Structure 1
Amino acid sequence: MKKNHKNSASRKEDTSVYTVKEPMELLPFLLEMMSKSSRNSMKSILTRGQVTVNGKMVTQHNHPLQAGQHVEILKNRAAMKEETLVGVTILHEDDDIIVINKEAGLLSVASKNPEDMTAYRQLMDYVKETNPRNRVYVVHRLDRDTSGVMLFAKNEEVKNGLQAAWNEVVKERTYTALVEGAVRKKEGTISSWLKESKTFKVYSNPTDNGGQHAVTHYKKLQSNSNYSLLEVQLETGRKNQIRVHMEDIGHPIVGDKKYGSSVNPIKRIGLHATALALLHPRTGELVRFKADVPSSLISKSK
């Protein structure tokens, strides 16, 4: 007769299987079983979908465990999946959403060439590795040369719900912008109407020109005689809004030739989506995702 140890582990090449002896939450259980791992690393393992309970993937930290259940940690699966992603780092993943940090230069979605490695196509391949029926859905976009936080839905119902109530659901959209020149004001607000031309350039007007009203708040973080680093909060989310509004105040975003920049020392547009906070589509809880500001933006404005 096989003994049922308190928390027995049987190992295969790239997995560890643990048997639960007494009821407890998943994260504390994992920390107890893998005492050499840090809390953050265990959270990452959960987030990346490397943990299954009785064969079903679980990402929730507080998932309740019952005696007799088997918890399996697939050590290399997620690591191998993520190694195939280029220009994309997964910040968070659960049953409803997947949040990434997109590098500058990578298309978010649209591409005429089916071979182009857009963030969307890569994530579609990523989720299908777990189940061929899995999909991701576009909720919002970032310009190709803008880096930072970007959110996708994992089912159509969540996508439609987020898009329909985007302005109510999203509580924070913070960007970091490296702009030309020394911005004098410590903070300010830009308000104008934006309208896109037939050549796909967005134009700004201080009065209603039939376009969309746009409001941008900014705060100076640091600056020198050549460049300033700004924290930018979007009150509205219009196409190219920050880029147009920075040109409006005479401080175009570094590298943004389309909207007035004449220099490009960092070989990219100096705009980064730093944080996104929203009410989670399933739980209603406020969740916040953050992507570190690239060092090239910070160093140029010191």
Structure 2
Amino acid sequence: MRKITIESNDSQQTLIKFLNKYLNKAPNSLLYKWIRKKKIKVNKKRVESNYKLKEGDILYLYIYDEELEKWIVDNKPFKSLIDVDIAFENSDVMIMDKDQNTLVHAADKSDYGKNLVDFMIDLMISNEEYIPRLETSFRPAIVNRLDRNTRGLVIGAKNRETLLNLNQEQDKISKFYLAIVHGKIDRKIEIQNELEKDDNNQVHVVKSGKKSKTIIRPLKYNDEYSLVEVELLTGRTHQIRVSLSDIGHPILGDRRYGIEDRDKRYKDQQLIAYKLQFSKNISVSSLRGKVIKSKYEKYIYNLYENLVGEVNG
């Protein structure tokens, strides 16, 4: 017999959903059979498969350990192969400041241990903030995504409640970027368009696409280049890169949506997710009113000044 105490990260989900994650190789037919035959109980009472678990509930599995182990895939923790700066951290979130050429999630097996999700989980395990065998149905996760070659701030949620709240309240997190673009932008621009992604992950401006809204504010500019602050009011794939290119001001170094045969020394887009501003009434109380900035803000200002010096020199 095995006894499992439900912690906060495993609460507020149905019994069958929890079992799907805990006994992750077991077919549903077997799980339903065990529930029906009272081999699985909650607080020593028979419950239905759709029973919603509460924190503090005790799950009793009247099944031999040898049988249970057959239906559990052992997900062993591994050491992260990358090092990432942390811009802000508390018991709810880890806000990481990622560099270019760093993945947020693993795209294939070769990326395991070399992405932000694995880095966060490895660090939390080493700090004993996350113990996979005790929290079998929750895994720390990312709230916002960045392209591989975009620098800046990525929010990692440390617990299930924070993850759910932040995902539901994206409108209470203001996201600001800095970009160096080709050409002169000397006024505030509000871009409203419709974007659609094709099978090659290329995004196009089309009337039938998803609505997007982007605000561009000039910070520094000359006839050749502009340094702009970009505020995202929606979160579409490649939204900033496509929208700036569509108005004739592609981002410096953008190989997909930029200008061919120019600035080849910049292999990647000069775009930084540099500031996060949390609303004063966001559900996660530890984040209310907080403003977090990226260390890469200084980098892009310096890069712009060097470009201007080259043009004027």
Equivalent of 1:298 in 268, 291, 304: 304
CA contact (8 A) 1:147 1:273 kept: yes
Aligned to 2:166: 162
Residue 225 of structure 1: how far off its partner (Å): 3.4
The one-letter code matched in structure 1 to 2:199 is K
Structure 2, unpaired ranges of 5+: 1-79, 133-138, 309-313
Distance 1:111 1:158, change over 3 A: same
Residue 85 of structure 1: how far off its partner (Å): 7.4
CA contact (8 A) 1:192 1:214 kept: yes
Equivalent of 2:175 in 173, 176, 187: 173
Partner secondary structure for residue 295 of structure 1: helix
The one-letter code matched in structure 1 to 2:91 is D
Equivalent-residue separation in structure 2 for 1:285 and 1:150 (angstroms): 17
Equivalent-residue separation in structure 1 for 2:83 and 2:212 (angstroms): 30
CA contact (8 A) 1:188 1:217 kept: yes
The one-letter code matched in structure 2 to 1:269 is Q
Distance 1:275 1:85, change over 3 A: farther
Written as runs of structure 1 = structure 2, the 5 A alignment for 1:121-136 is 121-131=118-128, 133=131, 135-136=139-140
Aligned to 1:186: 187
Written as runs of structure 1 = structure 2, the 5 A alignment for 1:1-302 is 86=82, 88-113=84-109, 114-131=111-128, 133=131, 135-167=139-171, 169-170=172-173, 172-183=174-185, 185-205=186-206, 208-209=207-208, 211-262=209-260, 263-279=263-279, 281-283=283-285, 285-292=288-295, 293-296=297-300, 297-302=303-308
Partner secondary structure for residue 196 of structure 2: strand
Q: CA offsets, 1:33-56, max 9 Å, x none? A: xxxxxxxxxxxxxxxxxxxxxxxx
Residue 137 of structure 1: how far off its partner (Å): 1.1
The one-letter code matched in structure 2 to 1:102 is K
Equivalent-residue separation in structure 1 for 2:153 and 2:266 (angstroms): 20
Distance 1:85 1:299, change over 3 A: farther
Q: Deviating runs (4+, > 2 A) in structure 1?
A: 84-87, 113-116, 223-226, 260-268, 279-282, 294-302
Equivalent-residue separation in structure 2 for 1:87 and 1:177 (angstroms): 25
Distance 1:93 1:118, change over 3 A: same
Distance 1:122 1:259, change over 3 A: same
Equivalent-residue separation in structure 2 for 1:300 and 1:239 (angstroms): 30
Residue 265 of structure 1: how far off its partner (Å): 3.2
Equivalent-residue separation in structure 2 for 1:195 and 1:154 (angstroms): 32
Distance 1:87 1:225, change over 3 A: farther
Partner secondary structure for residue 289 of structure 1: strand
CA contact (8 A) 1:87 1:103 kept: no
Equivalent-residue separation in structure 2 for 1:121 and 1:99 (angstroms): 14
CA contact (8 A) 2:143 2:163 kept: yes
Residue 92 of structure 1: how far off its partner (Å): 1.0
TM-score, normalisation: structure 1: 0.65
Q: CA offsets, 1:76-126, max 9 Å, x none? A: xxxxxxxx8745210111111111111111111132024351111111111
More strand by share: 1
Identity of aligned residues (%): 29
RMSD: 2.1
Distance 1:90 1:133, change over 3 A: same
Aligned to 1:77: none
Equivalent-residue separation in structure 2 for 1:148 and 1:233 (angstroms): 14
Distance 1:230 1:301, change over 3 A: farther
Residue 300 of structure 1: how far off its partner (Å): 4.3
Distance 1:264 1:179, change over 3 A: farther
Equivalent-residue separation in structure 2 for 1:179 and 1:222 (angstroms): 11
Equivalent-residue separation in structure 1 for 2:235 and 2:179 (angstroms): 16
CA contact (8 A) 2:103 2:148 kept: yes
Rg: which structure is higher? Answer: 2
Residue 281 of structure 1: how far off its partner (Å): 4.1
Matched pairs, number:
213
Partner secondary structure for residue 181 of structure 2: strand
